[in-house]
């Protein structure tokens, strides 16, 4: 719970700023394995990379012809990402407080982003997918998570809110294709890929 007078969003932003400022590089610099596996065969279009961090996923998408909008709450992360790659729209944004254009993206990629189960941000992200577009979500398998992280969305939670405008193509737990970050014990990913049909 946030201290009196401080929003949960402000705490989130400060947490990520502190994390990125604490070291020169936080993540591996390689694209997430789920993204590579699930997007490899899709025709490039407009992509939204949610919680882009230091930009590895956004760069991978751009190299394959996607026009990428990359969002993160940390200015430090975005400064690092933008220094390494031009041609991507790097945007510092708090999704809870910022609008997204409806139906604008052929791909909305949400890789290990902490979506809360009661979060209206999920509806905003789903609404941002264009007809015929893809919503791709990856998280850590709950069996690998401590109890305090079990209030966040998993694929089944998202599948339950999808209506007849959506077709679920993948909803599963699978072994990670890349080693877990140092100091963690994540062995499996949970993945949801859904296509908006109308």
pLDDT mean by block of 10 residues, the chain; 198 residues = 34 62 60 93 96 92 95 89 80 89 97 82 96 95 73 90 96 84 74 96
What pLDDT is attached to residue 143? 81
Measured CA to CA in angstroms, residue 145 lies from 84, 112, 136, 154, 185 at distances of 32, 12, 21, 12, 9
pLDDT of amino acid 181: 63
Rounded to 5°, the CA angle 63-65-67 comes to 100
Residue 13, pLDDT score: 67
Tokens, residue 114? 């902490």
The residues that bridge with 174 in the sheet, in sequence order, are: 189
Residue 80 has a pLDDT of 85
* pLDDT of res. 69: 96
190 phi and psi angles, rounded to 5 deg: -105, 140
Q: What is the set of domains in the chain, with CATH numbers?
A: 31-196 (3.40.50.150)
Distance CA 78, CA 70 (A): 9
Contact yes or no for 62/82 (Cβ under 8 A)? no
Provide the pLDDT for residue 190.
Answer: 93
* Integer Cα distance of 20 and 25 in angstroms: 7
């Amino acid at each position: 719970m946030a201290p009196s007078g401080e929003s949960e969003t402000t705490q989130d932003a400060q947490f990520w700023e502190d994390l990125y400022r604490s070291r020169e590089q936080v993540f591996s610099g390689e694209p997430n394995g789920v993204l590579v596996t699930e997007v490899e065969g899709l025709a490039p279009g407009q992509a939204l990379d949610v919680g882009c961090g230091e930009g590895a996923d956004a760069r991978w998408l751009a190299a394959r012809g996607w026009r990428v909008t990359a969002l993160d709450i940390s200015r430090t992360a975005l400064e690092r990402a933008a220094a390494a790659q031009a041609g991507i729209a790097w945007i510092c944004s708090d999704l809870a407080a910022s609008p997204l254009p409806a139906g604008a993206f052929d791909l909305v990629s949400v890789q290990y982003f902490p979506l809360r189960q009661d979060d209206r941000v999920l509806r905003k992200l789903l609404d941002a997918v264009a007809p015929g577009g893809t919503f791709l979500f990856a998280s850590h398998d709950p069996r690998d998570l401590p109890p305090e992280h079990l209030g966040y969305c998993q694929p089944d939670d998202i599948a339950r809110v999808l209506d007849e405008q959506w077709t679920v193509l993948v909803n599963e737990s699978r072994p990670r294709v890349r080693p877990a970050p140092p100091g963690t014990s994540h062995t499996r990913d949970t993945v949801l890929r859904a296509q908006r049909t109308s």
